[in-house]
Structure 1
Amino acid sequence: MPTPFMDPDFLLDTACARRLYHDVAAGLPVIDYHSHLQQGEIAARKRFRNLAELWLAGDHYKWRLMRSAGVSEDFITGDQPDEAKFRAFCRVLPLAAGNPIHHWCHLELRQLFDITLTINEANAGAIWEAANARLATMDTWSFLEQARVEIACTTDDPADDLTQHTEIAASGLKTRVLPAFRPDKAMRINREGFADYLDELGRAAGLRIGSYADLLGALKARVAFFHERGARISDHAIDGALPVGSPSAGDSEALFAKRLSGRLLTDAEQALYQRGLMEALGRKYADAGWTMCLHIGAQRNNNRRRLATLGPDTGYDSIADFTSSAGLADLLDALDADDQLPKTMLFCLNPAMNEVLSTLIGAFQDGSVAGKLQFGPAWWFNDHKDGNLAQLQTLANHGVLGSFVGMVTDSRSFASYPRHDYFRRLLCRQLGHWVEAGEYPDDIDALARIVRGVCYDNAKRYFGF
């Protein structure tokens, strides 16, 4: 007989895996050190009008799925009623066998709403009514506390005044909500509106930015401001290959002046500017004791027509195939040469680079911190069953799995915390397979130490929360 769909032992296919998950992993708190939750929605204790708003508003994962299944845009980002959009999603989700969204949505129904119905067109009405009745009693705090989220890090621009973070910190919310420093707007020098952003950043830092040195001063001041409010993580999108070799201070000033004059930088000039800024910020992060997270390998906004009509982050990105190892290694080496390499995490979007990055981190471990350099969790297009298992196996092959700091939601949705549960099941599954095959001892104490570390203990220690 087939295994029942999404039963309590979902993904746990050995006795060892089931024991590790149910006795160790399942009850651990969550540390979500990278998300895109909106701090304003937490501060305001936002309520969601219905399941469509919770599930479909802003979720480009689901939008891509619906488009691929032939759903027209008016039922995705258009003006169709919420219930009609939800029913359209329910109609096509059964077609997505093997897609993690199929698993995630069923986990969310079970864990957040105690609804065990299978998501399909026939059950859409009953799910809509039952979930909406439950949502009427819930707000953003409910999702965080129900999922036992101990710490949640948002993603924040350096110019943000973090007022809402201050409000949250003074509130009665059990979850600690901390900012994370994301200076993409300062990195993307060719972006339209760059000069206007410099004015915004300068006002936040209390200075006028007229030179590259001023920019560095403003960003460093904002690192200190964020640090005082609990930030311990920076986050950077590395969407192209970094060059080998650092620009001089004069080179960086000249590139900055060129852009302020109204001219765009060439691709090579833009990469050199970003390399210099990354190195300068990396030294500041090391001084502050922060972790530098690098998200590597995204190719963004491929569809110009949809970018013009819908904007960025609407489901038109993909995996890039650029080669980044030489420039990335040179950046890490330049920081390490002066013993100013911060704790660093490399998130890999292109699975063809898994071995490249998982071996690169081993070249810069120095014994000062367990897993000082981390091979980050399966990210974005890799966040599925096979991608998570591949990430765990690759890290195990080349490093120390027991030093890994575990999973993140990387999500804008307050309903996404079952993704941590999904990851924990896969971690226990992989360990169970190794025990079953005689590749690791059936030592429950040693195995439990790995599970507790990867799911909770290591992140708390590593980030200094």
Structure 2
Amino acid sequence: MTDAWVLNPDRALPAGELRPPAREIYASTAGLPLVSMHGHVDVSVFADDQPFPDPAQLLVVPDHYLVRMVVSQGRVTLPEMGVRPVGGDAGEAETDPRTIWRRFCENWHLFRGTPTRYWLEHELVEVFGATVRPSAETADILYDQISAALARPDFRPRALFEKFGLEIIATTDPATADLAQHHALAAEGWGERVVPTFRPDPLLHVDRVDWRDQLESLSDVSGVDAGDYEGYLSALRQRRRAFVEAGARATDHGHLLTDTTELGTAEASRIFRGALAGEVTPAEAQAFGGHMLFQMARMSTEDGLVMQLHPGSLRDHDSGVARTFGPDKGYDIPIATEYTRSLRPLLDAFGHHPNFGFIAFTLDETTFSRELAPLAGVYPAMKLGAPWWFLDSPDGMRRYREAVTETAGFYNTSGFVDDTRAYASIPARHDLNRRIDAGYLARLVAEHRIELDEAIETAVDLAYNLPKAAYPPVKVPAVSG
């Protein structure tokens, strides 16, 4: 019989002489509210406030971090982890949640040293009260413990919102969303706690197979005919205003590349017409996408939405998996990404604009010290986003601080964003970041580069004040006439 599972209070804090000051710095942030300004939890989770499903459907099947690691060994397939083929029936994938959960627990050793291990440990112990570590022998015990918790009313989404200490959470919503669920939440008093984020990617990439369908949806929801270039821009402006009225604070753009070169109106119109006719080249589509990033920046100066850029992920690297199972199955892979030249048109035009906020993220950490920190360290409009996706890890966060602080300082960064659809992992992700920042600041104190009181003040700013400042509320424009 093993002892009950208890997490070490010093996990992820530095060893040796740095630990005592790191503990003190971390203690100053551990109880702060969570400001979750970029994530992918669906708004329906909060609007419907329904009980979560079984442990496998909550924690395993939708988590591409977890599924990709198990499948990477070649002994378990996506269907065996409960991932159903697109359009497939239940018989084409494992549907027994307890079987899926057992497969996950049998492979727990694969997560040693990964941030997924840290997040899951925090979730299982701190959120669900698990008393045993995952393993083949304990899988059923864990499953029953989590299932019992999920059956309680204090584990519904809104109750967990309070338990997690969330102050605000931003969902990510298509530009064509009608925002009805956000309006319903606002009517119930949640409008300043769950806010939308404007994500127009499918409308900006004119070579997508569904682009014309997206345009039709844009016209329908906006009430503006998006059948020509000028109408398209007007429809996008209308949707942005609708998002602002629903409480949005930001836009989000997931382009592969970072080009922001503006095209002339005639050239942009020509490419738009060609796309409508199904006659657009890859080079034209790429140029139009960069042009539209510039236009999104211009619109942000008009309406005040902070512009977020999340580039550099080559989506669906395995085309066969994408065709069979759809997107977001763990096959998105980072590419080398250039920022200095690509962002110059945007920053040259708007980098000093008083009504423009721009947050740049990267999956290419080689650009932190060479490009992004120098850019964020000089342009008033620009902030450097937190380590994201594959870099959202203990060592990735440490490398980030070491790479960017000397040039950008702390106060040209955005603070932490958790960027997750895994709702139960949000407090774990924020906790890990606060511990890593405490360790980095403790080293600066030990090296007599800053004082302890400065370190504590900086830690509080990084955890709470900077993300609030980076994503300020947007003033709803007055209706003319």
Per the normalisation by structure 1, the TM-score is 0.92
Residue 231 (structure 2) pairs with residue 205 (structure 1): no
Q: Deviations over 1:77-109 (max 9, x none)?
A: 122411111111111121322111111100111
* Preserved contact between residue 220 and residue 281 of structure 1 (Cα < 8 Å): no
Question: Displacement, 1:146?
Answer: 1.1
Residue 33 (structure 2) pairs with residue 32 (structure 1): no
Amino acid at match of 1:359: P
Distance 2:255 2:210 in 1: 20
Range 121-130 or range 289-298, more displaced: 121-130
Distance 1:424 1:336 in 2: 30
Amino acid at match of 1:11: A
- Alignment-derived partner of residue 65 in structure 1: 69
- Alignment-derived partner of residue 216 in structure 1: 233
- Alignment-derived partner of residue 397 in structure 2: 388
Q: Deviations over 1:287-310 (max 9, x none)?
A: 222210000211111111101100
Is the alpha carbon distance of 1:276 and 1:173 closer, same or farther for their aligned partners in structure 2, counting shifts above 3 Å?
A: closer
- Alignment-derived partner of residue 257 in structure 2: 240
- Alignment-derived partner of residue 437 in structure 2: 427
Query: Where do 1:44-63 residues align within 5 Å?
Result: 44-63=48-67
Given candidates 446, 454, 458, the residue that maps to 1:436 is 446
Is the alpha carbon distance of 1:197 and 1:216 closer, same or farther for their aligned partners in structure 2, counting shifts above 3 Å?
A: same
Range 218-227 or range 49-58, more displaced: 49-58
- Alignment-derived partner of residue 123 in structure 2: 108
- Alignment-derived partner of residue 369 in structure 1: none
Distance 2:419 2:255 in 1: 16
Range 175-184 or range 340-349, more displaced: 340-349
Question: Displacement, 1:405?
Answer: 2.9
- Alignment-derived partner of residue 456 in structure 1: 464
- Alignment-derived partner of residue 114 in structure 2: 99
Query: Where do 1:212-291 residues align within 5 Å?
Result: 212-242=229-259, 245-266=261-282, 268-291=283-306
Q: Deviations over 1:190-231 (max 9, x none)?
A: 001211111110111112112111111000111111111111
Q: Which residues of structure 2 form unaligned runs of 5+? A: 84-92, 474-481
Question: Displacement, 1:16?
Answer: 0.8
Distance 2:192 2:219 in 1: 32
Amino acid at match of 2:323: A
Amino acid at match of 2:434: R
Query: Where do 1:241-390 residues align within 5 Å?
Result: 241-242=258-259, 245-266=261-282, 268-336=283-351, 339=353, 342-355=356-369, 356-365=371-380, 372-390=381-399
Is the alpha carbon distance of 1:449 and 1:238 closer, same or farther for their aligned partners in structure 2, counting shifts above 3 Å?
A: same
* Preserved contact between residue 298 and residue 349 of structure 1 (Cα < 8 Å): yes
Range 316-325 or range 146-155, more displaced: 316-325
Q: Deviations over 1:58-80 (max 9, x none)?
A: 21111111112332223211224
Distance 2:191 2:9 in 1: 28
Distance 2:467 2:173 in 1: 20
Distance 2:379 2:310 in 1: 18
The count of residues paired between Structure 1 and Structure 2 equals 450
Question: Displacement, 1:331?
Answer: 2.2
Q: Deviations over 1:17-72 (max 9, x none)?
A: 101112x1111001101110111121110212221111013211111111123322
- Alignment-derived partner of residue 167 in structure 2: 150
Secondary structure of 1:395's aligned partner: helix
* Preserved contact between residue 405 and residue 455 of structure 1 (Cα < 8 Å): no
Q: Which residues of structure 1 form unaligned runs of 5+? A: 366-371
Question: Displacement, 1:116?
Answer: 4.2
* Preserved contact between residue 175 and residue 239 of structure 2 (Cα < 8 Å): yes
* Preserved contact between residue 150 and residue 175 of structure 1 (Cα < 8 Å): no
- Alignment-derived partner of residue 478 in structure 2: none
* Preserved contact between residue 287 and residue 340 of structure 1 (Cα < 8 Å): no
Question: Displacement, 1:241?
Answer: 4.5
Query: Where do 1:63-142 residues align within 5 Å?
Result: 63-69=67-73, 70-76=75-81, 77=83, 78-137=93-152, 138-142=155-159
Is the alpha carbon distance of 1:241 and 1:289 closer, same or farther for their aligned partners in structure 2, counting shifts above 3 Å?
A: closer
Secondary structure of 1:16's aligned partner: helix
Is the alpha carbon distance of 1:340 and 1:281 closer, same or farther for their aligned partners in structure 2, counting shifts above 3 Å?
A: farther
Amino acid at match of 1:451: A
Distance 1:345 1:174 in 2: 24
Question: Displacement, 1:348?
Answer: 0.6
Is the alpha carbon distance of 1:80 and 1:204 closer, same or farther for their aligned partners in structure 2, counting shifts above 3 Å?
A: closer
Secondary structure of 1:263's aligned partner: coil
* Preserved contact between residue 48 and residue 135 of structure 1 (Cα < 8 Å): yes
Amino acid at match of 2:462: V
Q: CA RMSD in A?
A: 1.9
Runs of 4+ in structure 1 off by over 6 angstroms are none
Amino acid at match of 1:192: V
Is the alpha carbon distance of 1:87 and 1:172 closer, same or farther for their aligned partners in structure 2, counting shifts above 3 Å?
A: farther
Q: Deviations over 1:355-375 (max 9, x none)?
A: 22122222312xxxxxx4111
- Alignment-derived partner of residue 45 in structure 2: 41
